């Protein structure tokens, strides 16, 4: 594996870590910078979401249902082909419901396609594959 390939892999890991941290820290601007303008997002609700601003607005509205969240990411399996990449990242996400002691845990996999832009790697397609969930 070349040094350049290693650097790209680290950048892809950082991109998904930034995605998760920005949600948990409620940093809308940092979260927004994770995506291309024309991102396609699948698996979060019944509809496919198109476009960064549409997606970010959807997420920030949904976050109003939670007092806090914590997204733990597992190891990432990435494939890089020039300026395009795909990654499989497992996630366990704890959600504390707003105004309640009730919690909701989601176990899922992120399937993400990324593209290398002049501003670094960005997510151009993002899919959530739900494995299981539990209220407690």
What's 96's domain CATH number?
3.10.450.50
Is the pLDDT at 1 greater than 80? The verdict is no
Instruction: Please count the structural domains in the chain.
Output: 1
CA angle 86, 84, 74 (to 5 degrees): 25
Give the residue-averaged pLDDT of 38-42: 98
Going by pLDDT thresholds of 50, 70 and 90, the confidence category of residue 45 is confident
Mean pLDDT rounded to a whole number for the chain? 97
Q: Which residues contact 77 (CB under 8 A, 6 or more apart)?
A: 87, 88, 89
SS3 54: helix
Query: Domain range spanning residue 30?
Result: 3-135
pLDDT, one tens digit per residue, over 103-136 is 999 999 999 999 999 999 999 999 999 999 999 9
Percent of the chain with pLDDT over 70: 100
pTM for the model stands at 0.94
pLDDT at 33: 98
How far does CA 52 lie from the centroid of its chain? 12
Is the pLDDT at 36 greater than 90? The verdict is yes
Give the residue-averaged pLDDT of 36-65: 96
């Amino acid at each position: 594996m070349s040094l350049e390939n290693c650097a790209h892999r680290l950048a892809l890991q950082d991109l998904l870590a930034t995605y998760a941290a920005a949600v948990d820290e409620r940093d809308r601007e940092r979260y927004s910078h994770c995506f291309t303008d024309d991102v396609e997002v699948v698996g979060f609700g019944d509809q496919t979401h198109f476009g960064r601003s549409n997606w970010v607005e959807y997420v920030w509205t949904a976050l109003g249902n939670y007092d806090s969240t914590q997204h733990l990411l597992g190891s990432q399996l990435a494939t890089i082909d020039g300026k395009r990449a795909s990654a499989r990242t497992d996630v366990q996400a704890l959600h504390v419901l707003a105004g309640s002691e009730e919690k909701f845990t989601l176990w899922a996999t992120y399937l993400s396609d990324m593209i290398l832009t002049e501003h670094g790697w960005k997510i151009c397609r993002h899919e959530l594959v739900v494995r299981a969930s539990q209220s407690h």
